[in-house]
Amino acid sequence: MSRFLQIHPQDNVVVCLEEVKKGESLNISGSETVTAADDIPAGHKIAIKDIKSGSDIIKYGYAIGHATEDITVGRWVHTHDIKTNLEGILDYKYNPDTADIEKKISQMATKKGTFKGFVRSNGKVGIRNEIWIIPTVGCVNNIATALAKEANACIKGSVDEVVAFTHNYGCSQTGDDQEHTRTILSDLINHPNAGGVLVLGLGCENSNIDVLMPYIGSYDEKRVKFLVCQKSDDEMEDGMNLLKELIEEASRDERQDADLSKLVIGLKCGGSDGFSGITANPLIGRISDRIIEYGGTSILTEVPEMFGAETILMNRCKDEKTFNDTVNMINGFKEYFTKQGEPIYENPSPGNKAGGITTLEDKSLGCTQKSGDYPVMNVMEYGERTDVTGLNLLCAPGNDLCAATALASAGAQIVLFTTGRGTPFACPVPTMKIASNNTIASKKSGWIDFCAGQILDGRTFEELTDELFEKIVRTASGEKLKSEIAGFHDMAIWKRGVTL
C-alpha cells in the first residue's frame, strides 16, 4: 500500500496515509522522491513542490488557502504555515454545465427496488415503528423521560421502542427563534418513523399545544395524542393511558414492500479527519447518487462547511432559481455570523485540525463530496420538509446534533454520518456511523456501523458502495444500528434568538 495519496494531479501537497518520520523518503512518481523535513502525522499534508509565501496550497485540485511563509519540498503543511483565502459575502455567477445537468437528470429514478417499511396513511414510509413523546417545552422533560421509561415495559407487536425527545425550548423565545422551535416539533410529530406520538405540554408555555396545532396540521387522531400536564390531576397516569392506546394501535402495523423511491437519507459528517474527504465522504456521495437513481432523496446540510466549496454546488443547480436560492442560503448564513460578531471562518475544530484538516476550504472540499454528482434539485429553509426527490440542500449549522435533527425534521428516515474521530450520538432517526479510517473503526467498534477506511487497504469504491447500500436497505427494513442497540436518541433545536 502506498504511504501517501495525491488526490488531484495539480495538487502541490499529498496526504500521508500513515505517519512519516523526518528523514524518511516518499517516492512520488518515477524518479521523483520527497524526503520529509518534519514528522508528518497520518492524515496530514506534506509539500511535494516548493511553495512561495502567498502562493496557493492546492488539494482536491482547488486552493485550500495560501502559504504564510516559504514552504520547501518535504515540509509539513498545516496550521502553522497556511491561512484561509476565504472572505465575506460574495457575488456569484451561475456557470452550469447544462448538458451534464440534463444528462444526470435523465438518469434519476431509472432503477427499481424495494425495502420493508411501515407505510403510513399519508403515503410516507417509516423505517421504524416507534412511539415518540414530544414535549412542547423543556419544563416537562423529566415527565416525558419518566413516561418513556415506564411505557417501554408495555411495548408489543411491531413497536420498536418508546422514546422521549427532550429539549430546552418552547418558551421564553421570540420571533423566528420561537417559530423554528414550533416548526421542528411539528415536523417530528408528523415523521413517518413514529407509529404514534404523545405531544406533552405544560400549559402556560409560549408554544403550548393550542398554539402548536396549526403547525401540526391534519393528523390521525388514533396516532397522535395530546396531554396538558397542568390540566391533569395525575399526568403520569393519564400519560400512560394515552401511551398504551398508541402502543395498541401501532402494534398492529406490519412491514411491507415499499419502493426505494420513498427513502430519504440525510448526509452529515462530524469529527472529520484528513481521511474523511478521501474515503468516507466520497463513499457517501456514491450512496447519494445510488439512492437518487432509485428515485429517492438525499439531503445535504452544514452550510458553514460548504464555504469554500459552494461554487461546486452552485454550478450543479438544476436552474437559475435553485442557484439563486443556494446563493441566498450561503450569504444569509454569513450574515448570521456577522450579526453575531463572529468571524465567518472560525472553523475547523481542534479535533479536525488534529486529524489533518487545516482550513475551512480543506474541510468544505471534503465535506461536500457527500453530495455525490447529481444536480441540486431544491434548497430548503431550516425546519422545512422536503417534497422534492433528488439532491436537496438544507439550511442548518454544522453542529452535529442541530444539523442531524434538522435532517430528521426535513423528512430523512435515516442519517448517514461519517466520522474520523468517532462520536456516540444519535439523532431522532437511525444514525449510521461510517468511519473514515480503520483505527477508529477498530477502537470504537461499539459506535461504528461501517468502515470506509477499507478503501485505504485496496478495496474499491464500487465494492464498498454495493456493501453499504445493501446495509442501508437492511437498516431501512429493520436491522438495528449500533447507537440504537445502545439506546441512544438525541435531538437539538438550533437556538438563534433572544431568551426572555
For 424-435, what is each residue's pLDDT tens digit?
999 999 999 999
Least confident of 343-347, 466-470, 480-484: 343-347
Mean pLDDT over 198-208 rounds to 97
Q: Give the DSSP per-residue string, 228-276.
A: EGGG-S-HHHHHHHHHHHHHHHHHT---EEEEGGG-EEEEEE-S--TTT
What is the DSSP pairing of strand 297-300 with strand 376-380?
unpaired
C-alpha to C-alpha distances, 121 to 188, 190, 410, 413, nearest whole angstrom: 16, 11, 19, 16
Q: How many whole angstroms separate alpha carbon 16 and alpha carbon 27? A: 12
Are the CB atoms for 2 and 17 separated by under 8 Å?
Answer: yes
Q: How many whole angstroms separate alpha carbon 18 and alpha carbon 3? A: 6
Least confident of 32-36, 128-132, 202-206, 425-429: 32-36
pLDDT of residue 446: 97
Percent above pLDDT 90 for the chain: 93
Q: How many whole angstroms separate alpha carbon 317 and alpha carbon 105? A: 11
pLDDT at 346 over 80: no
The residue with greater pLDDT, 417 or 89, is: 417
Provide the pLDDT confidence category of residue 1 given band limits of 50, 70 and 90. Answer: low
Q: Tell me the pTM.
A: 0.95
Percent above pLDDT 70 for the chain: 100
pLDDT at 30 over 90: no
Least confident of 104-113, 251-260, 292-301, 488-497: 488-497
* C-alpha cell, 175: 420571533
H-helix or E-strand spanning residue 414? strand 414-419
* pLDDT tens by residue, 287-319: 999 999 999 999 999 999 999 999 999 999 999
Residue in the structure block whose three cell numbers are 471534503 = 366
What's the N-to-C CA distance of the chain in angstroms? 58
Selection from 32, 42, 33, 11 nearest residue 279 by Cα = 42
Give the SS3 label for residue 104: helix
pLDDT at 347 over 80: no
Mean pLDDT over 37-56 rounds to 97
pLDDT at 345 over 80: no
Q: Give the DSSP per-residue string, 318-355.
A: SSHHHHHHHHHHHHHHHHHHHHTT--TT--S-HHHHHT
Q: At what angle do helices 175-189 and 209-216 cross, to 10 degrees?
A: 70
Residue in the structure block whose three cell numbers are 410529530 = 189
C-alpha to C-alpha distances, 244 to 92, 193, 386, nearest whole angstrom: 55, 18, 32
Provide the pLDDT confidence category of residue 327 given band limits of 50, 70 and 90. Answer: very high
* C-alpha cell, 323: 442557484
* pLDDT tens by residue, 77-105: 999 999 999 888 889 999 999 999 999 99
pLDDT at 498 over 90: no
Selection from 219, 146, 210, 141 nearest residue 187 by Cα = 219
